Amino acid sequence: MSEFLGPEEIAYGMKVISEEDLELKRIEDIIYQRLTYDGKLKGKQPSIPVTTMKRMYELMLIGRRFDEKATSLSTLREIGTYAPCRGQEAVQVGFALALSKDDWLVPMYRDSAAMIAFGLPAENLLLYWGGDERGMKIPQGVNLLPIAVPVSTQLPHAVGLALGMKKKKENSVVLTSTGDGGTSKGDFHEALNFAGVYRAPVVFAVENNQWAISVRREMQTASKTLAQKAVAYGFEGILVDGNDVIACHEATLYAVEKARQGKGPTLIEFYTYRMGPHTTAELVSNRLKAPEEVELWEKRDPIKRFEKYLLDSGIIDESFITSASKMASDFVDEAVSRFRSYPKQEPRSIFDYLYSSPTERLREQLEESLGIKEPAPPEEEERRLEGGKEGINIRNAINMALREEMRRNEKIVVFGEDVGKNGGVFQVTRGLQEEFGEERVFDTPLAEACIAGIFVGLAVSGMVPVAEFQFEGFTPPAYDQIFGHIARMRNRTRGRYNARGVIRFPYGAGVKAPEQHSDSPETYFAHTPGLKVVVPSNPYDAKGLLISSLRSEDPVIFMEPKKLYDTPKMSVPEEEYTVPIGKARVLRDGTDITIVSYGAMLLNAEAAANTLSSKYSKSVELIDLRTISPLDEKTILNSVRKTGRIVVVHEAPKNLGVAAEISAIIAEKAVEYLKAPIRRVTGYDTVVPLARLEDFYLPGEERIVKACLDVLSY
């Protein structure tokens, strides 16, 4: 039986840090408050201009009226689910008016009053909650990111945006908000950690309204406050009375100006209350609130409290209240009228803004569904160059591409775990930091979700981010950001923002790596609208494909087969060239059978083709896909129509893999040309085994040859 050491047995000088060291006894002891609950001023007169205070009052009324109207419209089913912000107007108006025109606001979904105060037309919010993507097309001149429905996922975007502004030497500050429930998310902690490490000019606003749906704030954290969480990440936290608009505004001004002066981030906890339900689709949690709790917070109503102060100070009178109330009602009524008169959304709009130009598949679906024939963009011709630097492997070729493009385009930034002085665990970024400096090639904390999250913000800021994950097995934590934000940013903002850039990572088996370092996850990414997925199989293509990816207006997933990092080696031109994305390459012509593959398995497929040719006298057509999404259907179909037989090879599991998609395409468009069933030679529908059985798992030459002979003998 073990026992804990007693205090007298602990080594001399050991310090145990606890909550008690923060010396927080009561919220009231540390909360920043300028107006008492009955509207009396505490301390000196605020330095806020009278015109600004009047505008604060008007915007709080607008926020309240809008909230009431949107709730009513949702109840009547004229719009869908809506997240009310009643009771939080002081927070939102207070921090929105503390930002300048060149600053950025990255809101959460409950920030209606803030977004309107910051310049978003109110009808946009009604459109969005009414189910129309045009609502999140942010007008030019309004530096606002779209609503993020997944909780706290917008916080890393704000950090990336702030980093982008800092790197461009723009004196802008980013403010982002979340709720008390959002502080439990990994995105929150990763974003604060990144912000602290980089001293990013960002302000984190936590609207602590005491409830996350039906879970009280006390169930979110054992910390006495949320503001103190900033201390763990190396910057200041402030606790503010969130129903006191003067305190909210002053605290935000302090944090914004501090960030603008290069003194780093601040976390502000706005202590407030959610007077309404979580959303209009969920009313049960509101009934869980104790009546006396609701009554207490009703007495702290931020509008009535501020109004009392303004009246007592002689800043406004009853006539101003009357006119402001009418103005707010008229403002909201006019927004509703514009919302109702908005042109009908056309079905074809779902095909818009997914890519910089529609893919062949999208053009086909548009024509099939609506009879609209979209012209195809000019086909990019591939010009193959000869000669060049000899003995180049894939890792060298990728380094060459990054180096050349970074010299050409100063907006490209490379970041990830160990990409700086270390050059990446596979040495792909070796020497880049020495040439381009830490501003353009920088290491990150070990947090893949935030690496992908800051990618979004950097792209919105105008940079071209190149994020490296050390292994494909480390990408799952980033899926939320990649699938929910990077892939969708152009579409959900109707083209206002575009998360262009490249996400790179080594993938695949064959190098005897540890568990969860050998997967082939291309299907996950290829299934996601908005992404392009590229997989080179040789150094020449690796360089050309990466250059094309860096110049693409679309986000590209660039998968590097780690088995091929060192071999094969070949001559790679040092001059500029590109390899088109979405274009497969026929490596050898044939008439008897087609083999399609990509990445590391292409070498096994090529060995099988050589055996079939030399030993069995079969004419094999070999195709390297190079791009997984969008697929080059034309090249595949032309080959099948010629040979009548096809075998598709990849190392990912068979179930719903790339080979399954190719099989479906052929079944739909060229089945009459087939002389034999399609065969797939793939990894098994298991996890990739550890080193001792890895070779058994991978589709080797022998398995490919056998499948081809079966097809040829059918």
Q: List the catalytic residues.
A: 517
Task: Please enumerate in sequence order all residues whose Cβ is within 8 A of that of 331, keeping only pairs 6 or more positions apart, or say none.
Answer: 62, 65, 122
Q: Which amino acid is at 76?
A: L
β-strand partners of 41: 35
* Alpha-carbon torsion angle 662, 664, 670, 671, nearest 10: 130
Cβ atoms of 443 and 419 within 8 Å: the answer is yes
User: Which residues are registered as beta bridge partners of 466?
Assistant: 414, 502
- DSSP for 162-176 reads HHHHHHTT----EEE
Q: Which residue has the tokens 């919302």?
A: 339
The CA-CA-CA angle for residues 147, 150, 152, to 5°, reads: 85
Q: Tell me the three-class secondary structure of 314-361, residue by residue.
A: CCCCHHHHHHHHHHHHHHHHHHHHHHHCCCCCCHHHHHCCCCCCCCHH
How many other β-carbons are positioned within 10 Å of the β-carbon of residue 443?
16
Strands (E), 562-670: 570-572, 585-588, 593-597, 620-624, 627-629, 646-653
Q: Name residue, tokens 């010396």.
A: 23
In DSSP notation, 550-571 reads HH-SSEEEEEEEGGGSS-S-EE
The structure tokens listed for 376 are 């195809």
Which tokens belong to 479?
A: 């899926």
Chain centre distance of CA 307 = 41
What is the DSSP secondary structure assignment for residue 144, as one 8-state letter? B
Question: What is the number of H-type helices and E-type strands within the chain?
Answer: 25, 21
The dihedral region occupied by 77, where left means phi > 0, alpha psi between -120 and 50, and beta the remainder, is left
705 within 8 A of 611, measured Cβ to Cβ = yes
- In 3D space, the residue among 229, 196, 241, 186 whose CA is nearest the CA of residue 30 turns out to be 241
Torsion, CA 219, CA 221, CA 225, CA 230, rounded to 10: -150
* Alpha carbons 419 and 441: distance in angstroms, whole number: 7
Tokens 């110049």 belong to 551
Query: Hunting for tokens 């009524």 — which residue is that?
Result: 333
Rounded to whole angstroms, the Cα distance separating 458 from 451 reads 10
575 by Cβ neighbours in 10 Å (0-12 / 13-18 / 19+) ranks as: exposed
Listed in sequence order, the residues at least 6 apart from 290 whose beta carbon sits closer than 8 Å to its beta carbon are none
- Report the distance separating Cα 86 and Cα 262, nearest Å: 34
Answer yes or no: are the C-beta atoms of 405 and 548 closer than 8 Å.
no
- What contacts 714, CB < 8 A, 6 or more positions away? 645, 675, 676, 677
Burial of residue 477 (CB within 10 Å: 0-12, 13-18, 19+) is: middle
Phi, psi of 127 (to 5 degrees): -60, -45
Please, what is the Cα angle at 170 between 547 and 486, to 5 degrees? Answer: 45
- b/e code 1-16 from CB counts within 10 Å (16+ = b): eeeeeeeeeeeeeeee
